[in-house]
Amino acid sequence: MSRPSPRRTPITGDPRVDAPRALVEILSGRRRSTDIVNEARASWPGDPRDAALFQALVMGVLRRRLALAAVLAPFLHRKLENSPPLVRETLLCMALQTLYLDRVPAHARVSASVDAIRRLAGESAAKFVNAVGRNLERRLAQGDPRLGLPPEVLASLPAPLLARVKAADPGPWDDALLDALTADAPSTLRVNRIASTRDAALADLAARGMTARPTPWAVDGILIDDGTPLANHKLVPRVMVPQDEASQLVVEALAPRDGESILDLCAGTGIKTSHLYSRAPKARVRAVDLDGGKLVRCVALCKAMGLPQPETTTSDARALAAGGLAGTADAVLLDAPCTGLGTLVRRPEVRYVRSDGDVAPAAVQQAELLKAAVCLLKPGGRLVYAVCSFTDEEGPAVVQAVLAGTTGLRVDPIPLDAPFRAADGTLRILPWRHGMDGFYVACLRKEG
Written as one string, the DSSP assignment of 95-144 is HHHHHT-TTS-HHHHHHHHHHHHHHHH-HHHHHHHHHHHHHHHHHHTTS-
Residues 26 and 143 in one domain: yes
pLDDT band at 107 (very low <50, low <70, confident <90, very high): confident
pLDDT at position 3 is 44
Q: Tell me whether residue 216 is in a domain.
A: yes
Residues 364 and 412 in one domain: yes
CA dist., res. 334 & res. 373, Å (int): 7
Q: What is the mean pLDDT of the chain?
A: 95
Contact (Cβ atoms closer than 8 angstroms) between residue 440 and residue 386: yes
3-state secondary structure 21-86: HHHHHHHCCCCCHHHHHHHHHHCCCCCHHHHHHHHHHHHHHHHHHHHHHHHHHHHCCCCHHHCCHH
Residues 214 and 271 in one domain: no
Per-residue pLDDT reduced to its tens digit, 122-156: 999 999 999 999 999 999 999 999 999 999 999 99
CA dist., res. 413 & res. 50, Å (int): 48
Q: Tell me whether residue 164 is in a domain.
A: no
Q: Which of 197, 215, 242 is the last residue in one of the domains?
A: 242
Residues 345 and 397 in one domain: yes
Residues 308 and 371 in one domain: yes
Residue 208's domain is classified under what CATH number? 3.30.70.1170
Q: Tell me whether residue 161 is in a domain.
A: no
CA dist., res. 139 & res. 136, Å (int): 5
pLDDT at position 230 is 85
Residue 262's domain is classified under what CATH number? 3.40.50.150
Residues 120 and 23 in one domain: yes
CA dist., res. 120 & res. 113, Å (int): 10
Residues 136 and 35 in one domain: yes
Q: How many domains does the chain have?
A: 3
Is the per-residue pLDDT at 5 higher than 60? no
Residues 126 and 215 in one domain: no
Per-residue pLDDT reduced to its tens digit, 225-248: 999 898 888 999 999 999 999 999
Q: Tell me whether residue 153 is in a domain.
A: no
pLDDT at position 2 is 41
Range ranked top by mean pLDDT from 1-10, 29-38, 415-424: 415-424
Q: Tell me whether residue 174 is in a domain.
A: no
Q: Tell me whether residue 163 is in a domain.
A: no
Q: Tell me whether residue 376 is in a domain.
A: yes
More confident residue, 104 or 237: 237
pLDDT band at 283 (very low <50, low <70, confident <90, very high): very high
Residues 362 and 270 in one domain: yes
List, in order, residues 6 or more apart from 162 with CB less than 8 Å away. Answer: 152
Determine which of 191-200, 225-234, 323-332, 400-409 has the lowest per-residue pLDDT on average. 225-234
Per-residue pLDDT reduced to its tens digit, 307-323: 999 999 999 999 998 88
Residues 318 and 234 in one domain: no
Contact (Cβ atoms closer than 8 angstroms) between residue 444 and residue 254: no
Residues 289 and 344 in one domain: yes
The catalytic site residues sit at: 388
Q: How much of the chain exceeds pLDDT 90, in percent?
A: 90
Contact (Cβ atoms closer than 8 angstroms) between residue 409 and residue 444: yes
CB atoms under 10 Å from CB of 321, counted, come to 18
Distances (CA, A) of 360 to 217, 357, 364: 31, 6, 6
Q: Which of 96, 121, 147 is the last residue in one of the domains?
A: 147
Q: Tell me whether residue 156 is in a domain.
A: no
pTM to 2 decimal places: 0.94
Per-residue pLDDT reduced to its tens digit, 70-96: 999 999 999 999 999 999 999 999 999
Per-residue pLDDT reduced to its tens digit, 254-264: 999 999 999 99
Residue 101's domain is classified under what CATH number? 1.10.940.10
Is the per-residue pLDDT at 1 higher than 50? no
Structural domain boundaries enclosing 217: 187-242
Per-residue pLDDT reduced to its tens digit, 289-310: 999 999 999 999 999 999 999 9
Residues 128 and 266 in one domain: no
Provide the terminal-to-terminal Cα distance of the chain, rounded to the nearest Å. 35
Question: What DSSP designation does 421 have?
Answer: B
Q: Which of 195, 216, 242 is the last residue in one of the domains?
A: 242
